A and B are shown apart, each in its own frame.
Chain A
Amino acid sequence: DTGVSQNPRHKITKRGQNVTFRCDPISEHNRLYWYRQTLGQGPEFLTYFQNEAQLEKSRLLSDRFSAERPKGSFSTLEIQRTEQGDSAMYLCASSLEGRAFFGQGTRLTVV
């Protein structure tokens, strides 16, 4: 499968715990994006990378959120001290020539 891969697919965590998600983009794509989607809403942009450089972060990305893309390959999104409001689908996408392709997402439930 050469699509965007996200792990884990589901994560249930207790409030206050830290969680980390991984995204493996399509190999030749140099841009990688993270989005968050809540029920009944479209995805909302969080941050994006061109190669290893993080070029933009949304206001939605509080200081509890951090994303990395070491060596311009896979990316991780970490949420520290999770809150119930963090429960959502976290989507990763990679793009080439303007077309963004999404992974299946990681569904986070904070209890």
Chain B
Amino acid sequence: QKEVEQDPGPLSVPEGAIVSLNCTYSNSAFQYFMWYRQYSRKGPELLMYTYSSGNKEDGRFTAQVDKSSKYISLFIRDSQPSDSATYLCAMTPQGGSEKLVFGKGTKLTVNP
């Protein structure tokens, strides 16, 4: 079993839909959680960073962490064609140091 599991999709939604992306993890030492967006042939771009259970909102994006279930989610409201990308979850045992462990990424397409 990999430390971080993420459904690779692909996921296709109409413009304006609410998108839900999820990751599960097995290592209870993970305390810091991130979501990255990666456009084709580009480097990952940090979208959300959180370290506590609960929700964190930033514009159309909401990151949710449930440490008891070892489950994290990213919600995208009012999705736009420009949101079409691969979304990677990442986590680490401690903030400010150590390696990030990534999921495989979920490829999202938002259709106009």
How far, in whole Å, are A31 and B8 apart by their CA atoms in the complex?
A: 30
Residues of A within 8 A of B36 (CB): 102
CB-contact partner of A42 in B96, B98, B99, B104, under 8 A: B104
Is the CB–CB distance between A98 and B99 below 8 Å?
A: no
* B97 part of interface (Cβ distance < 8 Å): yes
* Count of interface residues, chain A, beta-carbon cutoff 8 Å: 27
Q: What DSSP secondary structure best describes chain A's contact surface? A: strand
Summed over the interface, the residue pairs from A and B with CB atoms below 8 Å come to a total of 64
Nearest neighbor of B4 in chain A, beta-carbon distance: A42
B2 CB to closest chain A CB, in angstroms? 10
* B19 part of interface (Cβ distance < 8 Å): no
* A27 part of interface (Cβ distance < 8 Å): no
* B60 part of interface (Cβ distance < 8 Å): no
Residues of B within 8 A of A43 (CB): 44, 88, 100, 102
Residues of A within 8 A of B32 (CB): 98
* B61 part of interface (Cβ distance < 8 Å): no
Against A, the Cβ 8 Å flags (1 = close, 0 = not) of B85-107 are: 00010101001111111111100
Sampled A-B contacts (15; CB under 8 Å): A35-B100, A40-B8, A40-B105, A44-B102, A45-B100, A56-B98, A95-B96, A98-B92, A98-B95, A98-B96, A98-B97, A99-B49, A101-B46, A102-B44, A102-B45
- Give the B-binding residues of A (Cβ under 8 A): 4, 6, 31, 33, 35, 40-45, 48, 50, 56, 58, 91, 95, 97-105, 107
